[in-house]
Structure 1
Amino acid sequence: MAVEAGTQQDERVAGRVWTVRLDPDGRPSAGAVRLSCSRPACADQRIPAGASAGRKAAIAHVNTHLSHIRAGGGPRAAAGCACRAADCAWHTPEPATARRGGGTAAGAAVRCGGPVVLTICSDRAQRLWRVAEMCARCAAATSDCRVLDTAAPTLPTIPPAAGRAVAGAGMQPQPAASAAGPSAGAAAVFSDHAPCPAADATAGAGPAALPRARTGSPAPAPRQVKRWGRIGQRTVPHTLEPDVLRLELIDLGNAFRAYQQRPQPDLALLAELHERKAHAFSLWAHVSGDASLRREAQRAELAAQTTREMHANRTGQLPGDTTPADGPAVERLLTRGQAAHARTVLAHATAHSPHPGAEVRLAVLMLTLRAAHAGTGNITGQDVTGWLPDTAERVLQQLVAADWLHLPHTVDDLMAAPPEDPTPFTIPALLPDRPRPFTFGKTTRARISGWAQKTVGDRKIRKKKPTAATRLLALHTAAHTRPDGRLGHPRAGGLPLDQVAAFTALKPEQVGEHADLLVAADWLTEADTGQGQLRGQLADRVLPLSGLL
């Protein structure tokens, strides 16, 4: 095959090559370059302005040659491959593994083929440009090579010797087309050269009329059902059985991709898709025995549960409740699961506060939320003053003295530090080497801490000059609400008054006074402490802070 390619190359005219290059002219520090062209008619040029100006001049010179080539008819179909004439030395070097079989230049010659194309190649340093007529295969094998034009194909011709051979075989040679025909310079060539059975009957009747082209389009082939598809990062094999499972997986993949194109999210639809995926992947794992598919099914089941909780959190409905909610959906800050974690932190602060006072308990709660994940956090004097305007320093001194809180400096240094320079603190009971009281991660911790900060720092409550007990009551009521904003579980009818009093460090008969203060601050719309229950409802403005029971 290599010999045949070389023979054909020798019979054709040589492909044209133009090489334009830039070289330093004189001392390198001078910055001058010399532009030279391989065409004898092009004289060298000295460009003192530097390499950048030299590249612009070289590109302009190349464009001049390209315009002359286009004016002359473009690349020649009869030209030989210029790369082949150079022993295919322009090709990109192959890796060592590809040369283990002993590839040589003869092997490279086999690659020549395809139409003749006009190409331009340049090196990465932008100092050499080569315009050449070469074959398409060599152009594809050359790095930084761009095809500019392709030679028009030539019509096949039958040599006279071949015509005599055909006539000698008992077949009539095809007559040339008349000048009056649509293609005066080319003859129609048909694949079937056998004589027509009716040739004798029409021989004396002049040229035979060609049959008309069929105007009707052929009947479309029956559409085949797609037997494979993709879902997530997995390919559904076309051999997967049963067919019902394969079609379900393909349809699920299409449904997930269609959901990604939706302009607005639909959490109910997304939860249904995750649920279908969990069921389908579980069956797929059972059929194939692939353990990774079973783990993927478990992740999809968890995703479906989380998405349903997010949907319930947005709409204010319990999971499985199909009754439409009254009014617009409430965008709550905490999900149902995060609200459960928040109630866990509230109970932990009540049980582990070193002093029973409301001020100490509020500080313990807020500091615990900041250090719940690793036992450490940051705080500023402005933060503590916002929680406890009048007793901040005294409360911190009590926590440090009880060895519940560790600070790198004194409390006075913490209070005097600017807000942009927070002070790190440590709660020894929450360090990772101790038993972990909480199971949530960083994201949930940050969300709960932000929820508590917004509740304690509510603007309308601040205007009423609340005490620490009032702020603790606001936290307790926000954490124990139903989707409609009512306090407590539906069966209980409210919050047990003794539990509220224990959390807020108040007596049961004192809870009503602070509840009235929350009503005045538009935190609660109503409050009643009769029959040992705190009954009421959160105002509409604070429903986003409610933690669903």
Structure 2
Amino acid sequence: MRDELIELGDLFRAYQQRTEPDLALLADLHERKARAFTTWADVSGIMSLRLEARRAEQAATAARFQHQQRTGGIADSDGPAVSRLLTAPTQGDHARSVLAYVADHSPLPGPEARLLVLMLTLRTAHTGTGNLVGQDLTALGLTDPEDLVEKLTGCGWLTLPGTAGDLLASRPENPTPITVPSLVPHEDKAGPFTFGKKMRPKLSGWAQKIVSDKKLRKAKATAGTRLLALTLATQTDASGRLGPGGQGIALNTLAAWVPVDSGELRHLVDQLTAADWLTDAAVTDDQLTGQLTERVLPLTCPLRA
């Protein structure tokens, strides 16, 4: 074990000396680090080592995702788009449970804060900790991500080792560790979510792909539009129809998850329709009907989970 850790240290130092990043290699290094720290934690029983292993797993996922973005392996490619649909009923249930939790516990008002809090909650849901890079924030369509992060740290909802500017400048080869204190588990209190540690990165990765979907980027969608897109994606059946039985979703239901007034909500729906992200959409009698355009990949597709 000692030899493995020494070798890993040497490999990470060598990586830092590279003139060009190799995110696939970096993801492999983080995965190897996660395995080593998990083994060390199993032998020693030290909880901090297990948390470090989880951070390494999250860093590997982030690096792998960034690698695919840069190489065109996901939504930037000409092939099928990222799945808008969750492929199992329990996945949808878990995604909606996070939406409901954030609706009740978001520390700041407005759709931009709601989207950022939602994405950070998904990233840290199991341990209260996770890793983040600047592009994770700039992909959300936020008006001023640095100011919003400062407000979240200022109210104590989020803690960082440095400044909001440092977080925005961080890259996949050196992600920023983040902590959401309210989600850190306590021995005498169960966490707010019931899904397991393997489900969390699947939900988080799927949500990140939804909000950074190629069509939304092309349309320069706002954070509110992206939040609505993600919300609708959790409310679809296997055929892509919205709402229970494909009958649509009441606007007042959506307003609980997307904190804008009804007029703005209709405008966001129009933006999704104009971007060809939502098809056959209409708002009548306070009911949203329509379906998501379907170019579906499984949630569990390798390197896309």
Matched, 1:463 2:218: yes
* Cα pair distance change 1:538/1:418, threshold 3 Å: closer
- Residue in structure 2 matched with residue 438 of structure 1 by the alignment: 193
- Residue in structure 1 matched with residue 253 of structure 2 by the alignment: 499
Residue pairs, 1:266-305, within 5 angstroms? none
- Residue in structure 1 matched with residue 113 of structure 2 by the alignment: 360
Indicate the structure with greater helix content: 2
CA distance in 2 between counterparts of 1:397 and 1:542 reads 37
Paired residue type of 2:251: L
CA distance in 2 between counterparts of 1:431 and 1:470 reads 30
Deviation at 1:331, TM superposition (A): 11
Are 2:86 and 2:234, in contact at CA under 8 Å, matched by a contact in 1? no
CA distance in 2 between counterparts of 1:432 and 1:419 reads 26
- Residue in structure 2 matched with residue 386 of structure 1 by the alignment: 139
- Residue in structure 1 matched with residue 34 of structure 2 by the alignment: none
CA distance in 2 between counterparts of 1:388 and 1:525 reads 22
- Residue in structure 2 matched with residue 454 of structure 1 by the alignment: 209
Q: SS in structure 2 opposite 1:540?
A: coil
Q: Which of 273, 287, 290 in structure 2 is aligned with 1:519?
A: 273
* Cα pair distance change 1:522/1:543, threshold 3 Å: farther
- Residue in structure 1 matched with residue 148 of structure 2 by the alignment: 395
Are 2:84 and 2:292, in contact at CA under 8 Å, matched by a contact in 1? no
Are 1:334 and 1:448, in contact at CA under 8 Å, matched by a contact in 2? no
Q: SS in structure 2 opposite 1:461?
A: helix
State the TM-score, normalized to the length of structure 2: 0.66
- Structure 2, unmatched stretches of 5+, are 1-82, 300-305
Are 1:485 and 1:543, in contact at CA under 8 Å, matched by a contact in 2? no
- Residue in structure 2 matched with residue 428 of structure 1 by the alignment: 181
Residue pairs, 1:316-395, within 5 angstroms? 333-395=86-148
Paired residue type of 1:520: A
Residue pairs, 1:10-21, within 5 angstroms? none
Paired residue type of 2:259: A
**Root mean square deviation, CA, Å:** 2.0
CA distance in 2 between counterparts of 1:543 and 1:508 reads 32
CA distance in 2 between counterparts of 1:509 and 1:406 reads 35
Deviations 1:374-422 (A, max 9, x none): 1100011121111135311011011101100011111122222333100
Are 1:334 and 1:451, in contact at CA under 8 Å, matched by a contact in 2? no
* Cα pair distance change 1:348/1:457, threshold 3 Å: same
| Greater relative contact order (CA < 8 Å, ≥ 6 in sequence) | 2
Larger Rg: 1
- Residue in structure 2 matched with residue 541 of structure 1 by the alignment: 295
Are 1:528 and 1:534, in contact at CA under 8 Å, matched by a contact in 2? yes
State the TM-score, normalized to the length of structure 1: 0.38
Deviation at 1:480, TM superposition (A): 0.5
CA distance in 1 between counterparts of 2:102 and 2:207 reads 13
Indicate the structure with greater strand content: 1
- Structure 1, unmatched stretches of 5+, are 1-329
CA distance in 2 between counterparts of 1:542 and 1:496 reads 25
Deviation at 1:522, TM superposition (A): 1.8
Are 2:135 and 2:168, in contact at CA under 8 Å, matched by a contact in 1? yes
- Residue in structure 2 matched with residue 53 of structure 1 by the alignment: none
- Residue in structure 2 matched with residue 269 of structure 1 by the alignment: none
Deviation at 1:504, TM superposition (A): 1.4
Paired residue type of 1:498: N
Paired residue type of 1:420: E
Paired residue type of 1:514: L
- Residue in structure 2 matched with residue 272 of structure 1 by the alignment: none
Q: SS in structure 2 opposite 1:484?
A: coil
Deviation at 1:494, TM superposition (A): 1.1
Deviation at 1:544, TM superposition (A): 5.6
Paired residue type of 1:403: G
